[in-house]
Amino acid sequence: AAHAPPASAFHASLARLPLSTSSPSSFSSLSTPLSPIATRKHAPATRPSAPSMNLAISLPAVSAAVASIAPAMAPLPYAAVAILPSCLGLYKSDYGVSYGYGLGMILPGLLTLPHCVTPIAKLHALLYIAYGVRLNLFLLYREMNITSMRAIKEKIEERVKARGGRLQRLPFIAMCGFLYFAMAAPLHLTATARALPPAAVGFLALGWLGFAAAAIGDAQKTLAKVGQPNKLVRSGLYSVCRHPNFTGEAFLWTSSALVGILTAIATGTLTAVLGWVALSAVGASGMSYVLCKAASGLESRQRDKYGDEPGYEEWIESTWAGVTLPPSK
């Protein structure tokens, strides 16, 4: 089988993921607009009025406009901005797990940013925004400039259309939307906390490192395959880790969930915000499984295609596979 580009392997794995939309047993904390972290009695922060900007729209201005629909961080608007982007899959099936995925991270980040109490919480929200923007720009570049990528997307769309009409995609779209909502749940645990514990700050730094590894890995492989689509990339990050894009992203989302959970523990509100904690765990574990499955599938296809090349076995022995599933017996 031909080697698929990184995102196409991810899309294929996500399409096979047996997700469940059943929620944890108790989400009482989701019914209130603010977690107890945010409802502590303190004077509301006042912000000096900013000078008018006639020629540019700043990120805070965009974020404030988006957040105006949910001034109290109510769960419903957050669910909407995470879930609705997956409906792009009704237009083109892969858009729900590509551009919809990116938007499903950007919008919750923008919605959270104005409510962040600390600079660390703002960095947490900015991580989601940065990830979504980077992913969508990367996908757009590939779609516009790489012929083989467009051919793969067209084949995927043809197979999906052969299975039935657009409405038959709704269960899968709903599962993707739920996953995106769960992945954004850690933002609720950190945004209004008066302080984040040192361990949470450390995991946030690890999340940004994972973001950088995924971005560099995607860019390096894409550029290396321009004009050489069948080339096995073994330089740069790939000389250390065979799947830095998948591995970096898994570190990102796992770290983000731990940032939120550790903050809830440190502030003594774990029981009160148990719904958001459970969602954070579901989101991180669900996406990590998708990424592990994608990396494992790519590992197998690379062995089939490049296993006889000189230096392949040495490369395997000297590098880390990254996040992969145990080989099936």
3-state secondary structure 156-177: HHHHHHHHCCHHHHHHHHHHHH
Residue 291 to residues 73, 124, 213, 227, 228, Cα–Cα distance (Å): 29, 21, 14, 27, 25
CA–CA separation, 325 and 82 (whole Å): 28
pLDDT of residue 74: 72
Q: Where are the alpha helices (DSSP H) in 44-98?
A: 59-67, 75-83
CA–CA separation, 86 and 19 (whole Å): 15
C-alpha closest to that of 125 among 86, 175, 78: 78
pLDDT of residue 79: 87
Q: Work out the end-to-end distance of the chain between its first and last CA atoms, rounded to an integer number of angstroms.
A: 21
Q: How would residue 131 be classed by pLDDT, with cut points 50, 70 and 90?
A: very high
C-alpha closest to that of 163 among 101, 95, 93: 93
Residue type, 273: V
pTM of the model: 0.78
Instruction: Give me 202's structure tokens.
Output: 């450390």
CA–CA separation, 173 and 178 (whole Å): 9
Lowest mean pLDDT among 33-37, 132-136, 186-190, 299-303: 33-37
Query: Rounded to a whole number, what is the largest CA-CA distance in the chain?
Result: 68
Higher per-residue confidence, 28 vs 56: 56
Q: Which range in 92-106, 147-161, 250-264 is most confidently predicted, on average pLDDT?
A: 250-264
Percent of the chain at pLDDT > 70 equals 74
Region 82-108 average pLDDT: 92
Contact 74, 108 (CB under 8 A): no
Mean of all residue pLDDT scores within the chain: 82
C-alpha closest to that of 148 among 229, 220, 94: 229
Region 160-171 average pLDDT: 77
DSSP 320: B
pLDDT of residue 51: 44
CA–CA separation, 38 and 204 (whole Å): 20
pLDDT tens-place string over residues 63-72: 666 555 554 5
C-alpha closest to that of 63 among 127, 107, 12: 107
If DSSP codes are grouped into helix, strand and coil, which group holds residue 329? Answer: coil
Contact 290, 175 (CB under 8 A): no
pLDDT of residue 68: 56
CA–CA separation, 316 and 16 (whole Å): 27
pLDDT of residue 8: 46
Q: What burial letters (b/e) apply to 9-38, b meaning 16+ CB within 10 Å?
A: bbbbbbbebebeeeeeeeeebbebebbbbb
Instruction: Give me 246's structure tokens.
Output: 């998948």
pLDDT tens-place string over residues 211-269: 999 999 999 999 888 878 888 999 999 999 999 999 999 999 999 999 999 999 999 99
Contact 299, 243 (CB under 8 A): yes
Q: How would residue 49 be classed by pLDDT, with cut points 50, 70 and 90?
A: very low
